[in-house]
């Protein structure tokens, strides 16, 4: 089982969209995929059509004493082989509780280690803040995927996120490969082109040499949770770019696994 954290401390850069698109892509290639919504705003949970009031069962239960088993929180989606776990708005209160309860930073890793073998890939949709939930995600992750909006202001956020991933890598024995995915790219603008170039200059081959374009069809992420047949009506530039991005990430996974062997 491989765990990917989809993270960026900046909001609105395409984290949730990337989680859904890569998850769908992996499921289409035959893998069993679990998407976990770690964001108290619950965008992904809502995309799956789950009401947030009253709160569904979900990630919060992993932090209970004793914690619930992850398998009991897994829901099946309309996309074959793609399952998910809901977020709850109450996750926002976890950050306050954490001060009194040491060890909460590993709750997700522990839940996932007991879940090994039930899914091939687990994708963690992180909130845009470096708090307890993101720390849980990074502690559990085998790889960090950083969607980064191709615009100049996003470069600071990217540098911060890369430093955080490097810190996590230093504090544990396992490597933490980083894959930067330029998103929301508008190739007609100079600012977009410059940002893409700088990303590649500053972060080298950790950055995908292509980009996910702005595509109005992706303003509605519900498309990504429709059964496979429905996608045919929506070939979409961004979706085909996400397929290429997945090829790149999987090639990099193969390389990291080879190095580790
Ligand atoms: N390639 C794209 N083309 C057009 N719209 C997009 C694209 N990717 C994402 N969007 C839209 O941009 C908005 C932000 O995307 P998304 O919710 O995935 O970002 P996020 O990083 O998860 O945000 P948050 O930090 O709030 O969780 C959404 O409305 C989404 O539908
Ligand atoms: Mg999101």
Q: What percent of the chain has pLDDT over 90?
A: 79
Our mutation pick for probing the ligand 1 site, out of 14, 38, 47, 133, counting the most ligand atoms within 8 A of Cβ, is 14
Residue 206 tokens, joined: 């950790």
Closest alpha carbon to 177 in 23, 4, 32: 4
Q: What is the pLDDT of residue 232?
A: 54
* pLDDT tier, 221 (very low <50, low <70, confident <90, very high otherwise): confident
Question: pLDDT tens across 158-199, in order?
Answer: 999 999 999 999 988 889 999 999 999 999 999 999 999 999
Query: What CATH number does the domain located at 2-260 have?
Result: 3.40.50.300
Q: Please, are residues 198 and 20 in contact by the beta-carbon 8 Å criterion?
A: no
- Above 70 in pLDDT, residue 151? yes
User: What average pLDDT does this structure show over 2-7?
Assistant: 98
pTM for the complete prediction?
Answer: 0.96
Cα of 123 from ligand 1 centre, angstroms:
16
* Per-position b or e across 81-97, b if 16+ CB within 10 A of its CB: bbbbbbbbeebbebbee
Give me the residue spans of the domains in the chain.
2-260
Average of per-residue pLDDT values in the chain: 92
Distance CA 42, CA 76 (A): 17
* DSSP-derived secondary structure for the chain: -EEEEE--SSSSSSHHHHHHHHHHHHHHTT--EEEEE--TT-HHHHHTT---SSPPS-GGGGGSSSPPPGGGG-EE-SSTTEEEE---GGGGGHHHHGGG-TTGGGHHHHHHHHHTTS-SEEEEE--SS-SHHHHHHHHH-SEEEEEEESSTTHHHHHHHHHHHHHHHHHTSSS---EEEEEESB-TTSHHHHHHHHHHHHHHGGGB-SS-PBP-GGGG-GGGGGS-HHHHTT---HHHHHHHHHHHHHHHHHHHHHHHH-
Query: Which residues' Cβ are closer than 6 Å to ligand 1?
Result: 11-17, 39, 43, 128, 183-184, 212, 214-215, 218-219, 221, 238
Cα of 174 from ligand 1 centre, angstroms:
31
- Above 90 in pLDDT, residue 100? no
Q: What is the pLDDT of residue 12?
A: 94
User: What average pLDDT does this structure show over 128-141?
Assistant: 93
Q: What is the pLDDT of residue 228?
A: 75
Q: Which atom of ligand 1 is nearest to the CA of 19?
A: 18
Q: Please, are residues 30 and 120 in contact by the beta-carbon 8 Å criterion?
A: no
Question: pLDDT tens across 33-86, in order?
Answer: 999 999 999 999 999 999 999 999 999 999 998 999 999 999 999 999 999 999
Q: What is the pLDDT of residue 99?
A: 60
- Above 90 in pLDDT, residue 234? no
Q: What is the pLDDT of residue 91?
A: 95
Q: What is the pLDDT of residue 94?
A: 86
Q: What is the pLDDT of residue 230?
A: 60
- Above 80 in pLDDT, residue 200? yes
Residue 38 burial class via C-beta count within 10 angstroms: exposed 0-12, middle 13-18, buried 19 and up = buried
Nearest CA to ligand 1 atom 18: 14
């Amino acid at each position: 089982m491989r765990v990917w954290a989809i993270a960026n401390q900046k909001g609105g850069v395409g984290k949730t969209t990337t989680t859904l698109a890569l998850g769908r892509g992996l499921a289409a290639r035959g893998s069993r995929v679990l998407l976990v919504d770690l964001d108290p705003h619950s965008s992904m949970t809502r995309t799956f059509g789950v009401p947030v009031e009253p709160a569904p069962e979900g990630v919060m239960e992993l932090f209970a004493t004793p914690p619930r088993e992850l398998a009991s929180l897994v829901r099946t989606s309309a996309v074959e082989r793609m399952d998910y776990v809901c977020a709850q708005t109450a996750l926002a209160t976890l950050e306050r509780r954490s001060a009194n309860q040491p060890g909460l930073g590993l709750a997700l890793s522990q839940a996932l280690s007991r879940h090994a073998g039930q899914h091939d890939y687990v994708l963690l949709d992180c909130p845009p803040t470096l708090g307890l939930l993101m720390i849980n995600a990074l502690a559990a992750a085998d790889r960090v995927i950083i969607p980064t909006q191709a615009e100049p202001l996003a470069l600071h956020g990217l540098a911060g996120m890369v430093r955080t991933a490097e810190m996590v890598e230093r504090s544990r024995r396992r490597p933490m490969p980083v894959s930067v995915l330029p998103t929301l790219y508008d190739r007609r603008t100079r600012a977009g082109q410059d940002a893409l170039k700088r990303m590649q200059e500053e972060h080298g081959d950790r950055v995908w040499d292509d980009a996910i374009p702005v595509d109005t069809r992706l303003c509605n992420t519900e498309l990504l949770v429709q059964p496979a047949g429905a996608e045919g009506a929506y070939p979409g530039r961004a979706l085909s770019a996400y397929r290429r991005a997945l090829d790149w990430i999987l090639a990099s996974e193969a390389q990291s696994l080879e190095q580790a062997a």
